[in-house]
Amino acid sequence: MKIKSSFSMLSNVGQLTCGCPAFQSMAQFFLLINLLVVLGAFTSCRRDERFPALGDKLASPLDVGVSKDGNYFYVVNTDLDRTYNAGSILVLDRDGKRVRAVETPRLPRSITVAGNDMIVTVENPATTQDQNEFKVLLFDIADPSSPNLIKTWPVPCGPVNAVLREGYKYFAVSCTSGGLLVGELTSDRAQSYIKLVREYSVVRRALHIDPQRGLLFAFTTDFGLQETKDVDMPDEKTYDKNFKFVEEPNEVPDNYEDKKDAVRRPSYYRQRYQFVVYNFNEEAGASESFPYRKSDDPIYQRELRWLYFTLANFDGQPDFEIGVSDLKRKIYRTNFWSAQPDADDPNAFYLSHRGKDTTYSTNEIVRVSIVGNVAGTGQETAPATADVLEFERVYGFKGEWIPQHFPCSFLVLNINNYKTLVVNHFKDLVAWNRKDVYYSVAAKTLGTESVGDSIWHQELTSDDPKTSFYQIAVNQDGRALMTSYYGNAVILLDVIPSTGITIIRRIE
């Protein structure tokens, strides 16, 4: 009806002669111009936008995975600038040859591969009347050259990362809002499911599944301007519910429990320095499998553990006396990007720990060893972190540390029988000034394994976003693929202990 009445008004403005309107007044002229603008906007809203096909092209590649046999890489195309209005999983063989592309919704965020299963998270902001465009995609890669979409789950929060382990039926997805999604891979993968189980106050991208104990570990990540830093806080006293105290540390920072307003302080401030231990086995066996629990639930509160540790340098001397000789203060830690299992030790895993400041004691890879009953089964209260976990720096020692390093994705794997750490660093345009932008990929041998009676260590660097090194995947013989997010490219490399890191070619 609005269209009809608008054209009716136009017909009364004047007569068309030789295609030109005969206006009776300037007011009629401006009325016509305004109506044409409105009609143009109205009709353009109804016109379908047309986009070229993404096909097997590269478009803001963000994440990358590798098949179990090491012969195929999976590149996540996000299409950040909306050139194609679609995302994809591009399959490349070990030599970088394009095999096929599987289209996904636009803006996939992460890819996780374990055995024949692959999970892709999609954080596509709503562009239609449907306000729920966050998705988790499950693929079967029994044929590693041809991912087969098995399941698409709409989810209520923006997923940022997923974790699963080969042969283990439970998996988890974390969200930018702090939400935690937990799912089960059933024998018939089409019947698999996922549920929102928690809404924590901070996002936790660094996820590790311990299948031996049936536990999920989740560590805080700062996605913003990297303003959240490790802090040295006193822990001299234990306060009771009436705020009376005994002079005994209890791992809770004193300034978080000494006043009523501190206790009521929004949990965000506490959770910046807490990690999560989620018990798959207990929650799966609850009256309702994987129930949703609110923040006032005792089980929810028990899952949050304070994170603090002091590390040692090459010579075995601690960085700080805090937490070693001075037990009345602790260094509470935050900002972890990624977690990876130790394939040789089910009681250990690794974390990439970050800090924006340019002081030595952050920006490192830390090995975490489980030395106690971390689940706290049979105990009234959750165990203290220092009683169940030990922390050891394996990369980022004072002698090899440089201010530009900012470790993100990494892998620890055996390459030619050498236990090797491969790690990428990026300080990108989101959180740093252009002069501070820095990218690198580094590798070193770990533990007692060495090359020529010494630890082998090499690094490739770049300060150009177009040749940025973002996420990385590596197979067992050292063939690697890295994404260049801003450069719309991927980079094929060889990472060989004693030989070096060699760029084979750039693929655009």
- Give the tens place of pLDDT for each residue, 363-418: 999 999 999 999 999 898 899 999 999 999 999 998 788 888 899 999 999 999 89
Q: How far apart are CA 175 and CA 200, in angstroms?
A: 10
C-alpha to C-alpha distance for 88 and 67, rounded to whole angstroms? 17
Q: What pLDDT, on a 0 to 100 scale, did the predictor assign at position 133? A: 82
Top pLDDT among 263 and 256 is at 256
Taking residues 296-323, what's their average pLDDT?
93
Confidence of residue 260 (pLDDT cuts 50, 70, 90): confident
With a CB cutoff of 8 Å and minimum separation 6, the contacts of 477 are: 70, 415, 416
Q: Does the pLDDT at position 293 exceed 60? A: yes
The structure's pTM equals 0.88
| Burial class of residue 50 in the structure, from the number of CB atoms within 10 Å of its CB (0-12 exposed, 13-18 middle, 19+ buried) | exposed
Of 44-58, 108-122, 253-267, where does mean pLDDT reach its minimum? 44-58
- pLDDT of 47: 58
pLDDT 10s digits, 477-502: 999 999 998 889 999 999 999 899 99
- Alpha carbons within 13 angstroms on the beta-carbon side of residue 505 total 6
Break the chain into its structural domains and give their ranges: 2-46, 402-508
Q: What contacts 294, CB < 8 A, 6 or more positions away? A: 199, 300
Higher pLDDT, 19 or 216: 216
> Taking 60 as the threshold, does the pLDDT of residue 474 lie above it?
yes
Q: What is the share, in percent, of the chain residues with pLDDT greater than 70?
A: 87
Say how far apart CA 92 and CA 108 lie, in whole Å.
18
pLDDT score for 9: 32
Max Cα distance, the chain (Å): 96
Is pLDDT above 70 for 40? no
Helix, strand or coil, per DSSP, at residue 170 = strand
pLDDT band at 127 (very low <50, low <70, confident <90, very high): low
Examine the pLDDT at 61 and tell me if it is beyond 60. yes
Lowest mean pLDDT of 122-131, 332-341, 371-380, 405-414, name the range. 122-131
Rounded CA gap, 137 and 114, in Å? Answer: 14
Q: Above 80 in pLDDT, residue 39?
A: no
pLDDT digits (tens, 9 = 90+) for 67-90: 999 999 999 999 999 999 999 999
Provide the pLDDT confidence category of residue 45 given band limits of 50, 70 and 90.
Answer: low
Measure CA 221 to chain center. 8
Distance CA 187, CA 68 (A): 19
Residue 303, classed as helix, strand or coil, is helix
Q: pLDDT tens digits, residue range 207-233? A: 999 999 999 999 999 988 788 899 999
Residue 445 has pLDDT above 70, yes or no: yes
Tell me the C-alpha distance between 495 and 2, whole Å.
Answer: 66
* DSSP codes joined into one string, 364-420: EEEEEEE-S-TT-TT-SSPPPHHHHEEEEEEE--TTT--TT--EEEEEEEEETTEEE
Question: Region 37-41: what's the mean pLDDT?
Answer: 51
In the chain, the amino acid numbered 190 is: A
